[in-house]
C-alpha cells in the first residue's frame, strides 16, 4: 500500500464567519500545561501580543499540582478568546494536545508549550509564508534560553548546524527521519488534520517526532521558514536525556505504524539510512548526557573538565 495522498482544499474567504452554527477563526493555538505556573502567563501574553488578532487559545491543564489552572482561568476571564480545559488525571502532553484538537475551530493550528513564548509577528509571518508556499505545515527555527539564567543561548541551528540546510526549503519524510526537525513547533492547516486524521501519538516522550513523521507519511507539504520566531525555555539540564530516549520510543512506534499500515516506505533505502543515522545520533547523544550527569562521581578534576568540554562542544546551548 502506498501512502495516502489527499487533495488539499483551498481555504478562502474571511475568517470569523458563521457557518452551520460554528464560528471559525484564523488560528487555534494549542497549549498543554502541567505545573507551569511560573511560565504560563508569559506564554499566554505572547499570544495576546500577536499582530494577528484572529485566534483562539485552548489551554489544556493536564492535572497540574500547582496554580497553573487558576492562573489560566483568571486570564480567560479577561479574554474570551482563551479557553481552559481541565483534565481529571495526568495523561501526558500528547493526550492533552489531542483534547484541544478535538475542539479547535481555527483554519490553522499552532502549537505553543506553556513555558515558551513567541515573537509578536510569528503567527502572521508563518501563515503568510505557508499560504505563499502552498504548505500544509510550517516550521521555524527556535531561540534557546538557559535553564538557570533564562538568557538567550542561540538558536537550534547553532547547536545543530546540520539543520540549517532545511531553512527556506520543503522537507521530505527522509529529512524528518534523519534530523531533529521535530524540535521545531509546527503550524498546521486544520484541513490537513481533518483529511488525514493525524493526531499526536499518545506516548510520553518525543510525541512531536511521531506527529511530524505521520504528517509527512500522509503526504502533507512541510516547509521551514528561514527564521527563528519561537522562544524555547530549557527548564532542566537533564531534559535532553528524555529527548534522546524518546527517539527510541518514537522509532519503535513508527516502525510498528508503518508495518501495520502495509507501508512500502520502510523498504525505501533512503528512509532506512535516515532512521539508522538517527539511532546512532541518539545513542551518542544519550551517552553524552549520561556522562554529564555522572561527572560528580569522577574523582579526577582533569577528567571531569575534559568530559564537560566535550559535552558542551556538542551541546553548547546547555552551558547555562
- Does residue 294 register a pLDDT over 60? yes
Number of domains present in the structure of the chain: 2
Least confident span in 109-123, 156-170, 278-292: 278-292
| Shared domain check, 94 and 160 | no
**Per-residue pLDDT tens for 99-152?**
999 999 999 999 999 999 999 999 999 999 999 999 999 999 999 998 777 889
Higher-pLDDT residue of 240, 282: 282
Average pLDDT, the chain: 81
With 60 as the cut, is the pLDDT of residue 40 above it? yes
Q: Specify whether 146 is located in the same domain as 72.
A: no
Is the pLDDT at 271 greater than 90? The verdict is no
Which percentage of the chain shows pLDDT scores above 90? 50
Q: Is residue 189 part of a domain?
A: no
Residue 79, pLDDT score: 97
Domain region containing 82? 14-116
Q: Are 300 and 276 in contact (CB under 8 A)?
A: no
pLDDT of residue 255: 65
pLDDT of residue 132: 97
pLDDT in tens, 185-218: 999 999 999 998 999 988 777 788 889 988 988 8
Cell of 81: 478568546
Residues 129 and 245 in one domain: yes
- Answer with the one of 87, 116, 145 that is the final residue of a domain: 116
Residue 34 maps to a domain = yes
pLDDT recorded at residue 18: 38
State residue 261's pLDDT score.
61
Does 195 map to a domain? no
Q: Is residue 250 part of a domain?
A: yes
Residues 40 and 134 in one domain: no
Q: Are residues 123 and 245 in the same domain?
A: yes
State the pTM of this model. Answer: 0.81
Which pLDDT does position 249 carry in this prediction? 58
Amino acid at each position: 500500500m502506498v501512502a495516502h495522498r489527499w487533495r488539499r482544499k483551498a481555504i478562502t474567504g474571511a475568517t470569523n464567519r458563521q457557518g452551520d452554527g460554528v464560528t471559525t477563526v484564523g488560528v487555534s493555538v494549542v497549549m498543554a500545561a502541567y505545573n507551569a505556573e511560573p511560565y504560563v502567563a508569559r506564554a499566554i501574553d505572547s499570544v495576546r501580543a500577536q499582530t494577528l488578532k484572529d485566534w483562539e487559545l485552548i489551554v489544556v491543564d493536564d492535572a497540574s499540582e500547582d496554580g497553573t489552572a487558576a492562573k489560566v482561568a483568571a486570564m480567560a476571564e479577561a479574554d474570551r478568546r482563551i479557553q481552559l480545559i481541565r483534565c481529571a488525571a495526568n495523561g501526558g502532553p500528547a493526550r492533552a494536545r489531542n483534547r484541544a484538537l478535538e475542539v479547535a475551530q481555527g483554519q490553522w493550528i499552532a502549537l505553543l508549550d506553556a513555558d515558551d513564548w513567541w515573537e509578536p509577528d510569528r503567527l502572521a509571518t508563518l501563515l503568510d509564508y505557508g499560504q505563499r508556499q502552498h504548505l500544509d505545515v510550517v516550521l521555524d527555527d527556535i531561540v534557546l534560553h538557559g535553564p538557570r539564567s533564562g538568557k538567550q543561548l542561540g538558536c537550534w541551528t547553532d547547536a545543530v548546524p546540520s539543520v540549517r540546510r532545511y531553512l527556506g526549503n520543503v522537507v521530505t519524510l527522509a529529512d524528518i527521519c534523519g534530523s531533529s526537525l521535530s524540535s521545531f513547533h509546527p503550524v498546521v492547516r486544520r484541513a490537513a488534520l481533518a483529511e488525514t486524521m493525524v493526531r499526536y501519538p499518545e506516548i510520553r516522550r518525543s510525541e512531536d517526532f511521531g506527529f511530524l513523521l505521520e504528517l509527512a507519511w500522509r503526504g502533507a507539504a512541510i516547509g521551514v521558514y528561514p527564521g527563528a520566531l519561537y522562544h524555547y525555555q530549557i527548564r532542566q539540564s537533564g531534559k535532553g536525556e528524555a529527548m534522546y530516549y524518546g527517539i527510541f520510543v518514537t522509532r519503535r512506534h513508527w516502525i510498528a505504524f508503518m508495518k501495520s499500515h502495509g507501508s512500502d516506505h520502510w523498504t525505501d533505502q533512503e528512509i532506512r539510512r535516515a532512521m539508522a543515522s538517527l539511532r546512532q545520533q541518539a545513542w551518542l547523544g544519550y551517552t553524552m548526557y549520561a556522562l554529564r550527569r555522572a561527572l560528580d562521581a569522577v574523582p579526577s578534576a582533569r577528567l571531569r573538565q575534559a568530559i564537560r568540554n566535550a559535552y558542551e562542544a556538542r551541546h553548547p546551548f546547555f552551558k547555562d
